[in-house]
Each structure stands twice: as C-alpha cells, then as structure tokens.
C-alpha cells in the first residue's frame, strides 16, 4: 500500500490531537507525520505509533514533501497557509470556516456527498461540527422525500471552543460548588450551570455566525439552495458531544416508523429509540465514539408532513477530526 507524508496544522489543539489519534486508530497509511503549531507550542513532543514526534513551528516552508495537510488551527491560519501548502503539492483538508462557502471548494461529508471530493482544486473543506451531524441524518430522509424546511436548535459542548473553554467550565464548576465566584474569561457570561444562546459573533440579521453556518453549509452539502432552514445555537455546560433538536417538513409524508427504518440503514448513523427503557442518545454516551446517534423520532402533529429528531455526536471526532481523516481516506482511494 502506498504511504503518504501527512502534516497536522494545529497539532496541539483539541481537534489536532484527535486527528493524530484517529490517524493511528484507523491505520491511515502514514509514511511520515509532521506536527505543526504556533511558536509557543513548538518543541513539545507528542506520540504517534509509539514514537515521539517533535512539534515544529508552522512556517511558509513547512509543507515541502507533504502529500496531505490536515488543518485545524482556525480560519486566519488556513487563509494564510493553506494556499502555500497547495502550492507545495499537498492536498489540504481544512477544518476551519475559511473556504467552506467558496464555490470551487467542495464541502464534504463522506457518507453524504463523497462524489464532491473529486472536484477539489487542492483544498477540501470540512463542514462545521453541528452541520455534519445534522446532514448525516437529513440526507437519507431527503432521499426518500425532499425536505422543505428545517428548524434546528443545538446544544453545543464547550470543547467546540477549545481547551481554554474546557478549563473554564471545569474551574467555574469547582468555584460555584465551593461557594466562590466564577471567573469569566472565555465566554461573555458564566457557562457553568448555565446556557448561552450565543455561539460566535452576532450578525446584522440578529443570527449568530454559527447559526448561519448551519443554514448555508447544509444547503451546499445537500445540494438544495431552496431548502428553508433556521437555527438557534446554544452553548451548554457539557465537555464533549453536541446535541440537536431537529424538526423537518418533507414534501411527502414519512412516518416515524419509516424514518426509523431509513435511519437504521444509513451509513455512520445508529438509532437509539426505545422509550420504554428510556433509551435515547446522550452526550456522555457519544463521547469518544464515531457514529451519529438519533432518537426521539416522532411525527410532528402540528404540520402534515413533519418529523422531530434528537441527534447527538462527538463534536471532536465525527464533528471535526474523524470527518477530516475520512475525507483523506476518500481522497487516496
């Protein structure tokens, strides 16, 4: 089997660390692994296949000899360094929002639109974490009957913001339980024992950037610019795994039983929906796992062709690192 020189940009972040783990778990054909990060993280040594690898400072010359570059360092870094990686001959799989809506950059979820990966011109975009898990469930239902409208509310874990947010939730929780004031640094308000209906910046239309990512990215991935979508994205005091309440309206009726049958056959999806035993997807159950879990499947009796779904997935794995590695696997095929 041919092996590839792989680079991870943002190797010391939460998603970069998951990328390294998943490359090893899935036995990706890595000849050499280059770990790239900012100057403050350079010099650390991380383990891959029982071998210590020195983290290097990201620079314009970092991509010489690299075949595949997995980017997880944010949009600003991607805009500057992804074109340099492509120029050096690498395929870039970018986890940031930098290129997702560019018309000549495919936005790919391998279980949903794998054919789009072949259309790349050096960069393939990894969708937003909350978008990925939603389209994993929407696509097979959309194939049965076109989805006309989506109303989604997300409940997103703090790890989606990064290590600083994880530390903040832990520190605030300890402080509150000890009767001390919670220190607020990462988020505009206390996140411990609280909910924040505010992810990313507010836009002129009063939606947040995160909410509009879900709208625009879903339309692009599903290949349906006319799909009506509205989103409310909420940050919750959970460490890992995003949850979503998804309401859809289809052109032709899909019963709850039919929806379960469709989703049980969908790749990368597992149905957990047994009300008698209180079985439904939970964030703590999804953590560390690769599937998207769906339950609470029921018909919406307020409209003729409506369904309600509850979707949960590990935001660091399928929502980011795993999907990127799957795109790499798809590309080398």
Number of structural domains found in the chain? 2
Residue 225, domain extent: 131-315
Q: Which CATH number characterizes residue 171's domain?
A: 3.30.360.10
Residues 181 and 108 placed together within one structural domain of the fold? no
Same domain? For 135 and 123 the reply is: no
Model-level pTM?
0.96
Mean per-residue pLDDT for 13-37?
98
Residue range 86-123, pLDDT digits in tens: 999 999 999 999 999 999 999 999 999 999 999 999 99
Of 278, 218, 275, 226, the closest CA to residue 244 belongs to: 218
Catalytic residues: 129, 242
Pair (108, 204) in one structural domain: no
What pLDDT is attached to residue 212?
98
Which residue matches tokens 């790239």? 36
- My answer on whether 172 and 98 are in the same domain is no
Kindly list the distances between the CA atom of residue 328 and the CA atoms of 6, 22, 133, 312, in Å, as whole numbers in the listed order.
Answer: 10, 12, 19, 24
**What sign for the dihedral angle of Cα 296, 302, 306, 311?**
negative
User: Residue 165: which pLDDT band, with cuts at 50, 70 and 90?
Assistant: very high
268 shares a domain with 221: yes
If asked whether residues 147 and 110 sit together in one domain, one would say no
Return the CATH number at 63.
Answer: 3.40.50.720
Q: How far apart are CA 48 and CA 250, in angstroms?
A: 46
Q: How many CA atoms lie within 13 A of 4 on its CB side?
A: 22
Residues 266 and 167 in one domain: yes
């Amino acid at each position: 089997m041919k092996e590839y020189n792989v680079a991870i940009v943002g190797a010391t972040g939460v998603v970069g660390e998951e990328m390294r783990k998943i490359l090893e778990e899935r036995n990706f054909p890595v000849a050499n692994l280059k770990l790239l990060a900012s100057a403050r993280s350079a010099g650390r040594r991380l383990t891959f296949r029982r071998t210590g690898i020195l983290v290097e400072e990201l620079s314009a010359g970092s991509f010489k000899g690299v075949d595949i570059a997995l980017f997880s360092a944010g949009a600003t870094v991607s805009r500057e360094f992804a074109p340099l990686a492509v120029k050096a001959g690498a395929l870039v799989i970018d986890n940031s929002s930098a290129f997702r809506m560019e018309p000549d950059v495919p936005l790919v979820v391998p279980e949903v639109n794998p054919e789009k990966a072949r259309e790349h011109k050096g960069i393939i975009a990894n969708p937003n974490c909350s978008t990925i898990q939603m389209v994993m469930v929407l696509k097979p239902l959309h194939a049965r009957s076109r989805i006309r409208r989506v109303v989604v509310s997300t409940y997103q874990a703090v790890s989606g913001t990064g290590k600083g947010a994880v530390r903040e939730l832990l520190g605030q929780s300890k402080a509150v339980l000890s009767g001390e004031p919670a220190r607020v640094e990462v988020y505009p308000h206390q996140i411990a024992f609280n909910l924040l209906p505010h992810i990313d910046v507010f836009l002129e239309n009063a939606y947040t950037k995160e909410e509009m990512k879900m709208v625009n990215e879903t339309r692009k991935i599903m290949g349906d610019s006319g799909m009506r979508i509205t989103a409310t994205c909420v940050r919750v005091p959970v460490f890992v795994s995003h949850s979503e309440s998804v309401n859809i309206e289809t052109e032709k009726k899909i019963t709850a039983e039919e929806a379960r049958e469709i989703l049980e056959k969908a790749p990368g999806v597992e149905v957990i929906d047994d009300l008698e035993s209180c079985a439904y997807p939970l964030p703590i159950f999804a953590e560390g796992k690769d599937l998207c879990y769906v339950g609470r499947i029921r018909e919406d009796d307020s409209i003729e062709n409506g369904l309600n779904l509850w979707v949960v997935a590990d935001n660091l794995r399928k929502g980011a690192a795993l999907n990127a590695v799957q795109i790499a696997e798809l590309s080398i095929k």
